[in-house]
Structure 1
């Protein structure tokens, strides 16, 4: 039994040293504002986000808004294929259009996902979820 344990530990140590150095953590963050602005009588909502990704990387952002409107769900999402990656925080306003029914003033649940790629082979996904107040 001890021989098997020693073998497993040795194999794990060899595997750990074989991992590429590029597996280092990429700097990235995404934050949703506590409030978003309704547009076009609730057909859309402008969601303020702050993104940060490491200089030299490329980033994309996905935002989804879901709200209970009188027992039915108003749902919309938006994919932004490119966000600035300079190592600093940048404000990115994402306009989400409802696919079902109009959004209304009040609380909605919002999710943001920032996908960052750093050549040659490193990537990271960071997320932020929160309740958000939709206002006119």
Structure 2
């Protein structure tokens, strides 16, 4: 009977060394503002937000805007390969160009994802999704 607990303990100890330690979580935050600004007669919208990531980290941002325009979707997205990381909040404006129809003043759904990496093995992700009002 004693062989089973010893076997189980051996198996658990072996598995603990087989799996690498997980990466350390790094603080990251993204906050979309309530209004976006219409640009170039609807060809794009400028999405203001505030981002925060750990000092010395590198951060990138992905933003998508979707709006129902008379029963069809106006959709655009934008990747920003670099955002400021100082441990404090920074205002960042991302201009999103529509890939389909023109954006119009009114309500749109917006998503933002902030990915952060701090060498040697720390990372973090922050996301926010919200309705945003597009204004002229």
TM-score tier by shorter-chain length is 0.7 to 0.9
Cα pair distance change 1:8/1:104, threshold 3 Å: farther
CA RMSD of aligned residues (A): 2.4
TM-score normalised by the chain length of structure 1: 0.87
TM-score with structure 2 setting the length: 0.87
Residues 9, 105 of structure 1: CA spacing in aligned structure 2 closer, same or farther, 3 A cutoff? farther
Q: Which residue of 2 aligns with 1:103?
A: 103
Q: Which residue of 2 aligns with 1:23?
A: 23
| Map of 1:46 onto structure 2 | 46
Between stretches 114-123 and 51-60, larger displacement belongs to 114-123
Q: How many pairs were matched up? A: 132
The separation in 2 between residues aligned to 1:7 and 1:105, in whole angstroms, is: 63
Partner of 2:12: 11
Return the offset for 1:56.
1.1
Q: CA deviation at 1:12?
A: 7.0
Q: Which runs of 5+ in 1 are unaligned?
A: none
- Residues 102-127 of structure 1 deviation map (CA, whole Å, 9 limit, x = unaligned): 00111000000001011012222211
Q: Give the whole-Å Cα distance in 1 for the aligned partners of 2:42 and 2:128.
A: 23
Larger radius of gyration: 2
Structure 1 segment 1-136 matched on structure 2, within 5 A: 3=4, 7=8, 11=12, 15=16, 20=21, 23-136=23-136
CA distance in 2: counterparts of 1:128 and 1:9, whole angstroms = 44
* Residue aligned with 1:112, SS: strand
